[in-house]
Amino acid sequence: MADTDLFPAYRGHMEYFCLGCSARFDISELHYTCPTCSGVFLLRDLDFETLKKTPGQEWRRIFDARAASKNTALRGIFRFYELMAPVMEEEDIVFLGEGNTPEVASSPTLRGLTGLKTVYKNDGQNPSASFKDRGMACAFSYLKALVRKHGWDQVLTVCASTGDTSASAALYASYVGGPVKSVVILPQGKVTPQQLAQPLGSGAVVLEVPGVFDDCMKVVEHLADNYRVALLNSKNAWRILGQESYAFEVAQWHDWDVSGLCLFVPIGNAGNVTAIMAGFLKLYDLGIITALPRLFGVQSHHADPVFRYYSVDDPKERHYEPVAVTPSVAQAAMIGNPVSFPRVRHFAERFEAVGGKGAFQVVQVTEQAIMEGMILANRHGHIACTQGGECLAGALRAKELGLVSAEETIILDATAHQLKFVDFQNMYFTNSFPPEFGVTPRPELANAPELVIDPAEKAALSPEAYTLKAAENVVKRLGLAAKR
Ligand SMILES: *Cc1c(COP(=O)(O)O)cnc(C)c1O
Ligand SMILES: [Zn+2]
């Protein structure tokens, strides 16, 4: 066995740390919010300082060597084991192929159209087709470790979701099986048919609540406070931890030089953007990178509490207030009261302290711009969901505001696969958006299937005549010239 395949020997000493009152709790129990102040937790490795004894250059060598590992437990997000959750044993780690998603450079044509050097990181190429798998792989590995230690015979995992969290939770629960059962709570009619099909296909119990995500979240919180369930929403700090892998992968892809990179990330519950900041800061603290990239959060004008907060320049004048959301094509980010907002504030402060003013910013985009971002990207070879479209819209908005230039490499987060959100594409193509979205399709971007021959006409023809007739119609439609 090559040394890259050896499971790391390092074990950290992790604790939950409350961002509200600084209380600390042991990780032998599942905690979501602070019993004292209801604040959200971060997970900290108390021995993190000892990792600093290893020079940054050595860490880079270790992670690069591990990229070739044939040890399944180290092939996904746990390639970065020491920075992730270094309390798990090899047997605990659940790997369904998550992580290692590619960065795909935009075509010269698209770059010409936008005047921006964009790249998409395709997190829709994760197993359940969204980035949520990064966090779920970590959360389920931790659950497996708990089950092993406590010998639990039943663990009911519960989550509220805008669609992708439940798809991911149900997938991982169905794989782990045994005592682990999955229940997902969804806002009725507010997830796409594809996202509904996923937990159903994974065999989860799917419960619907009339309302929006924020309503589901309140139900789930009540359950977590009063009953024995394992909560898998982003209050679960293990998920945030797993999502840090996005930052580690971006740094490694760019050979550990992230200076001059601009990342655009959609903000819903703000778990993703939190994890990305936390991840880069860890790399920076260990000397694995020597500068931070710039990070832009993007929000729709229909769900923009984080944008509103940061739109006030003077930190002392800022004031957080939840907003009532209105329908958004970036449905997975349609959240008025982000659970991880305190985490954003915590890391944004540190991010700016290291990276300087403007290292973290939030831009706001319209629903129209989000849809056109998605359609424009995908007409040029990308596979972006609406939130991925939101990132392109955000980059264009930042360019308009003079915040990014044509020289910088811009990494857009396609947080899910295009196919999960094709219903919005279809509404755009068929001009059938309900008015509350405020999207007016541009006819020149519409696309629709065209029938080549009428079924009644087909029935009246012999098979040979039918083939000929159909082919003739195709020739006419395309204006084909005959071979000579
Ligand atoms: C969950 C999700 C988001 C929002 O991420 P947060 O961590 O909640 O901010 C964006 N896009 C997709 C596709 C998602 O599934
Ligand atoms: Zn607290």
End-to-end CA distance of the chain: 62
SS3 track for 155-188: EEEEEECCCHHHHHHHHHHHHHCCCEEEEEEEEC
User: DSSP string of 435-481?
Assistant: GGG-----GGG------SS-HHHHHHS-HHHHHHHHHHHHHHHHTPP
Residue-wise pLDDT for 113-152, tens only, equals 999 999 999 999 999 999 999 999 999 999 999 999 999 9
pLDDT tens digits, 224-280 = 888 889 999 888 999 999 999 999 999 999 999 999 999 999 999 999 999 999 999
Calculate mean pLDDT across residues 108-116: 98
> Tell me, what's the pLDDT at 233?
87
* Tens of pLDDT, residues 352-385: 999 999 999 999 999 999 999 999 999 999 999 9
Which domains does the chain show, CATH number per domain?
103-127+240-444 (3.40.50.1100), 454-484 (no CATH)
The pair of structure tokens assigned to 135 is: 């966090």
| Residue 239 CB less than 6 A away from ligand 1 | no
For residue 321, what are its two tokens? 């207030």
**Residue appearing with tokens 């992968």:** 249
The pLDDT of residue 1: 61
Rounded to the nearest integer, the mean pLDDT of the chain is 95
Of ligand 1's listed atoms, the one at least distance from the Cα of 163 is 15
Report the distance separating Cα 166 and Cα 304, nearest Å.
23
Ligand index nearest the alpha carbon of residue 17: 2
Distance 269 CA to ligand 1 centre (A): 7
167-206 pLDDT per residue, tens: 999 999 999 999 999 999 999 988 888 989 999 999 999 9
- The Cα-based distances of 193 to 146, 190, 436 in angstroms read 34, 9, 20
Query: Which ligand is nearest to the Cα of residue 19, counting in written order?
Result: 2
C-beta 164 within 6 A of ligand 1: yes
The pTM score is 0.96
CA of 24 to the centre of ligand 2 (A): 8
Mutate to test the pocket of ligand 1, among 267, 325, 347 (most ligand atoms within 8 A of CB): 267
